[in-house]
Structures are given as C-alpha cells and as structure tokens.
Amino acid sequence: MGKVETNLETAAAKAGMDAKTARKYRRLGRVPSELTPEKRWRTREDPFQEVWEEVRSLLEVNPGLEGKTIFEYLQRRYSGRFAEGQLRTLQRRVKVWRATEGPVKEVFFAQRHEPGRLSASDFTHMSELGITIQGQSFPHLIYHLVLTYSNWESATVCFSESFESLCEGFQNAVWELGKVPQRHRTDRLSTAVNNMSTPAEFTERYAGLLRYYGVEGEKIQAGQGHENGDVEQRHHRLKRALAQELMLRGSKDFVSVADYQEFVAGLLARLNAGRKARLAEEIAVMKELPERRMESCKRERVKVDSGSLIYADRNVYSVPSRLIGEQVEVRLYMERVEIWYGQKKVEEMPRLRGRRRHRVDYRHIIDWLVRKPGALENYRYRDELFPTSRFRMAFDELKDKLGPRGSKEYLAILELAAKESEAKVDEALRGLLEKGEGWVRAEAVRERLRAAERKGSIREVEVASVDLRLFDELCGSGEVLQ
C-alpha cells in the first residue's frame, strides 16, 4: 500500500496537481475532463434586481458613493425590504460596476531615472511619532531630500516651512554628498514657488539658491502631489523606520534636540549604507560644489522702538536698551536670530516659531524697570519677566503681602538675577519658598547669595616653614643618604 501511495504522489507531481486532488480523481474513477463542471451562475434571485437601475443612476451621478452608503439609503427608502445580511451582495455588485462601467482610473507611469540627474525634496510633519524632549512635546518637521536614482536621502530637523529651513536642509544634503545634482524638484511651497500671477516661476531667494549651486529647478503642478512621489514615498518609509527604531530604543524621549538629531542621522547612515553602489554612479556624473556654503539667512533692517523692541518676520524680540532709536540688521536663520549693529554682532537668541509671538529678555530692560517699577503692573509682556516658576511664585507672594510695593521688591530680585546669576537666585528662591518663614524679600535673597559665595570660596592653606638646621644635624650624624 505504501508503494501505491508513493506512486500516486509521484504521478500527481508529474501532472502538476496536489496529491489530495489525485486521490479524489482515483476515488471517483474519472479524469478531470469527464467530471461535471461546478455551477458558476447565480442560484438565488438577485435581491437588488428591481432597484439596480436606481442604484446605477446614483453611481453615475456620484461615482464615489460606497456600497454601504447606498445600502443604508435603500433601507430607508424601502423600509423592511433589505436585510443586513444582503450588504455584501450589494457591495459586490457595486465593485463589478466600477470595474466595468465606472469612471476610468488614473494611471501612474513608472519613470526611468538617470544617475545624478534629479533630486526631490519636501517638508513633512513628524507629530505622529510622539517625540518629546525631557518630557516636553516636540512639534517639528523634517526637510527631506532624496536622490531619485539611488534613493539616497538626507533629513534636517526644522520647525517651519521657511526659506531658511529649505536653504539649510538643501545645503546640508549637497555638502554631505560632496556633489550637486543637475535638477531639483519641489512641490508648490510658497518659500520656493511663486504661486501668484506674476511671471516669475520661482521666488527670488529660491532662484538665487539654485543659481548659486548651478541647479535647474522643477515644480510639480498644482494639486498633483503624486508628481513628487519619490520623496512622498520616502516620507512614509522614513517615518516607519523611525517608529521601528524608537520601539527598539524603548523610549521616545530625548535629552536634547541635538540628541534627537543624532538619532535621526544614525538611522539615515544605516539606510544609506545599502545604496552605495548606485550612489557611486550618481556621484560620478554630478556637478562640483562651489567653494563655500551660501548664507542661509534672511536679512532685515529695522529700527529699535522706545520699548527696546524690534519687529522681525512678524514676531517681537527685545534688544539691549542702549540700541533704542538705532537701525539694526536682523539676520534670521533657521533656529536663531542675530542682531548686528555697526558690522558687529551684539545679540543672539533662539528664533521664535510661528507668527505674532514675542521673546522679551528681562536683562535688556531691567535697568529701566527698576527705575520705573510702576510700569510692571500692566506691562504688555509681563509674563516674559518670570524666568522660572519660582520667580512667578515670589512675585505673587510679594503682591499679596505688599500690594503695589511688591512690584518694586520683585524687580530688586530680578535685578540680582540679571547682575549675579539667574540660576543662583532661583536656588535662593527655592530655599526661601520651601522654608516658608515670613515672605520672600530681596535682602533675604541677597543674603543667601553672599552665604553661598562664602561657603564656596577657597580656604587659605598655611604651610609651615622648614627648619634647615635639621638637614645639618642629619648630615653631621654620619649617615649616607642613598
């Protein structure tokens, strides 16, 4: 019996069928051509036959209607006629209609990419990854550039779809490559593409960037995101790879932005490692870089107003009060703002994200606030004058205890922070607030600073002088020093 079974399996294999199927034919005693074919036609009456023309009319007017939506419509229109179990039947009929009578579908044509010819870039939001910095939410974007032939990619962490971010990201990519592609494609970013009715195709600054690197610019058609499909697909795959790496890491929290950037760079290095062969083909035909990077900042000439404030890129920044009334140059980089006066950088601060925001440094205006303490009560940017939560707690306590005079006392504490050390004053406030004796006063803070300074001062060490006669006595004893 075992031999017969083995012969049957061998014969089935030679005939290209499963052994189980061969056993069925042997049991029936017939070959496949002699068997009656299974029925392929409907054995039950179509429950939607009488209403199908109505359904067809709905689909012709609105081809996007789903089978479930039409089924619910029919249940309302013909109450009690259609049971829930008939939904799949209607969905199958709608599917057949789409394939045989429905509107034509868009065809995507695979493109042949040539080495070194084209790079594509776009911004993508990273919120869905849930990245945090020291427990705080970290909303950000990535400027993502891809070489369409080798799929080599570069990513720069940024905070807005600004030209500065685009310029910085593009330059980071080409300087990492060491070469420049012939053409570069973007979608219709307002930072790069002039979407108004003016004749210019690209914005002036973006066109200047392309000229500097000798690159031809391309833009996709409005509403045709698939034309930048190379980078769009890489967005999806990069996010998926980052999500996997975060799971392996076991945490989405990072010590600093630099730590997170290093994490992203490490992943990209591993992804790009498998593309070296095709990348070498691209590098061989790419163009040379210029001698140096292009400055990726926006410059504005503004006047410092009477509040020691400037208005740049629709945001407010404070500057040292000695510059009131002067014209200064503001240089807006991707992550920082520089203030220049007389060809000299006089201030630098983090760049604000978004619009209609403000950053007021109490150190810039504390001298005049101390002279005009009454101005603090209704100062428009008063919340900016509380460097930490302890400063705010101290202010609230002083206002509660001293009333209007509390502002003057608080400003004396803030002046200590500006002239001594914000961290040391914050620590002194912590001790006073935790102690809970009386209330916080500037003199008490000052005393704690002096005490900490005395405690930390270096003690004088006295070294006793050596009596040289001891050496004479040692030598006179006749002992020989080895």
Q: What is the pLDDT of residues 148-157, one digit of tens each?
A: 999 999 999 9
User: In terms of residues, how long is the chain?
Assistant: 482
Query: For the residues 50-77, what does the mean pLDDT come to?
Result: 91
- The angle formed by the CA atoms of residues 217, 219 and 225, to the nearest 5 degrees, is 145
> Which range is least confidently modeled, 37-46, 134-143, 471-480?
471-480
> Which range is least confidently modeled, 9-13, 54-58, 224-228, 345-349?
224-228
Provide the percentage of residues in the chain whose pLDDT is more than 70: 83
Domain ranges for the chain, please list them: 2-34, 52-100, 118-285, 298-359, 381-456
Cα–Cα distance measured from residue 195 to residue 198, given in angstroms and rounded to the nearest whole number: 8
Residue 439 has pLDDT above 80, yes or no: no
Q: What is the pLDDT of residues 266-307, one digit of tens each?
A: 999 999 999 999 999 999 999 999 999 998 888 999 999 999
67, two tokens: 């089978």
Query: For the residues 209-213, what does the mean pLDDT come to?
Result: 93
What angle do helix axes 422-435 and 405-419 make, rounded to 10 degrees?
130
Query: For the residues 414-418, what does the mean pLDDT come to?
Result: 93
DSSP 6-70: HHHHHHHHHHTS-HHHHHHHHHHT--GGGSPPPP-S--S--TTTTTHHHHHHHHHH-TT--HHHH
Residue 130 has pLDDT above 70, yes or no: yes
Cα–Cα distance measured from residue 94 to residue 74, given in angstroms and rounded to the nearest whole number: 14
What is the reported pLDDT for 74?
A: 93
Q: What is the pLDDT of residues 333-342, one digit of tens each?
A: 988 999 999 9
Question: Which of 331, 330, 348, 324 is closest to 297 using CA atoms?
Answer: 331
What is the reported pLDDT for 21?
A: 82
Helices (H), 334-441: 362-371, 389-402, 405-419, 422-435
Q: What is the pLDDT of residues 133-143, one digit of tens each?
A: 999 999 999 99
157, two tokens: 């962490």
Q: Which CATH class is domain 118-285?
A: alpha beta
Contact (CB, 8 A) for 240 and 128: no
The pTM is what?
0.63
What is the reported pLDDT for 366?
A: 93
Cα–Cα distance measured from residue 377 to residue 362, given in angstroms and rounded to the nearest whole number: 15
> Which range is least confidently modeled, 45-54, 117-126, 242-251, 428-437?
428-437
Question: Which of 373, 362, 419 is closest to 398 using CA atoms?
Answer: 373
16/21: higher pLDDT: 21
